[in-house]
Amino acid sequence: MACRELPPDLLIALQLRQATRMHPDLEKLLALQQADAEIARLSEEVAALPKRVTEIETKLHDAQTGVETAKAAIKADELARRKHEADISSLQQKISKLREQQLGVKTNDQYKALVHEIDFAEKEIREHEDKILEAMVEVENLERQVKAAESELKAQAAVVEKEKSEARARTDEDNDLLAGWREKRTALRAEVGADLLSHYDRVLRLRKTALAEVRDHKCMACQVMLRPQTYNEVRSNEQVLTCDSCQRILYFDSSREAAPAPVEEAASSPAVG
């Protein structure tokens, strides 16, 4: 299957082939390294997508929880209001009985005691009424919040479904690409000698990359300077050489070589008369 774009290492291999003669194993190994890099990248992306879907679903769940929490608070306020209303009703009945008792008292002290109880009961009623008003205001605020949250939840649910659909589509696409790259890798590995392939696998496992470009007399992977003879041999790309420091397989890209500085003509001396 075709890739989204021409891989960098394959592009390098083509440039090298056009610019200079190149050992065929180097071309194959550059292509193999790109295949391994793409397989690793796509595998990591596929493995990360389920986590991404979970994060998307969690975002929606949090929004749903916010709506449910606000609704539960409304229900709790309504229950509290009914409790206050019931308490007021009980207190009103109590006051009625106390007023009836006032009609039958015989002493002033008894009458004052009943008045005190009625005043206390009326005070409690006012407190319950204040709490009912507070609960009503709170319910109104919560209902506005729920309405706004439900509207936002509906919009967010559509976004979440779109994101999940895109994540699933990306997974399918990555799996198709993985199949193509794995097929390509298998074909490339079959074309590389066993000893060279073993060295490639060992370095790739240890270093994450098995090939390194040589530039400015050094290995660009480990930044170690090469011996002049080794550098000249690598520049020819006619044999497979490795870095003495990191053991990566070396190649040279002449297209990256700095152009020589232009030679300025010497200014002519003025003629002597």
Lookup result for tokens 């071309």: 27
Q: Answer yes or no: is 269 within a domain.
A: no
Could you give the number of structural domains in the chain? 2
Q: Please tell me whether residue 141 adopts helix, strand or coil conformation.
A: helix
Instruction: Mark whether 136 and 251 lie in a shared domain.
Output: no
Lowest mean pLDDT among 38-42, 59-63, 163-167, 217-221: 59-63
Instruction: Mark whether 13 and 86 lie in a shared domain.
Output: no
Instruction: With cut-offs at 50, 70 and 90, classify the pLDDT of residue 174.
Output: very high
Instruction: Mark whether 77 and 202 lie in a shared domain.
Output: no
Instruction: Mark whether 172 and 60 lie in a shared domain.
Output: yes
Instruction: Mark whether 137 and 173 lie in a shared domain.
Output: yes
Instruction: With cut-offs at 50, 70 and 90, classify the pLDDT of residue 266.
Output: very low
Q: Answer yes or no: is 244 within a domain.
A: yes
- With 70 as the cut, is the pLDDT of residue 131 above it? yes
pLDDT tens digit string along 41-72? 999 988 888 887 788 778 778 778 878 888 88
Instruction: Mark whether 178 and 252 lie in a shared domain.
Output: no
Instruction: Mark whether 141 and 162 lie in a shared domain.
Output: yes
Q: Residue 11 has what pLDDT?
A: 55
- With 60 as the cut, is the pLDDT of residue 30 above it? yes
CB burial of residue 208 (10 Å; 0-12, 13-18, 19+): exposed
Cα separation, 26 vs 211, in Å, equals 9
Instruction: Mark whether 67 and 119 lie in a shared domain.
Output: yes
The range of the structural domain enclosing residue 89 comes to 46-185
Mean of the per-residue pLDDT values for the chain? 84
Q: Residue 227 has what pLDDT?
A: 94
- With 50 as the cut, is the pLDDT of residue 263 above it? no
Q: Which residues make Cβ contacts (< 8 Å) with residue 209, sequence separation at least 6?
A: 33, 37, 203, 221, 248
Instruction: With cut-offs at 50, 70 and 90, classify the pLDDT of residue 25.
Output: very high
- With 70 as the cut, is the pLDDT of residue 40 above it? yes
Cα separation, 102 vs 148, in Å, equals 54
Instruction: Mark whether 226 and 249 lie in a shared domain.
Output: yes
Q: Answer yes or no: is 3 within a domain.
A: no
Instruction: Mark whether 27 and 60 lie in a shared domain.
Output: no
Q: Which residue has the higher pLDDT, 98 or 159?
A: 98
Cα separation, 41 vs 47, in Å, equals 10
Instruction: Mark whether 19 and 149 lie in a shared domain.
Output: no
Q: Which residue has the higher pLDDT, 28 or 157?
A: 28
Instruction: With cut-offs at 50, 70 and 90, classify the pLDDT of residue 254.
Output: confident
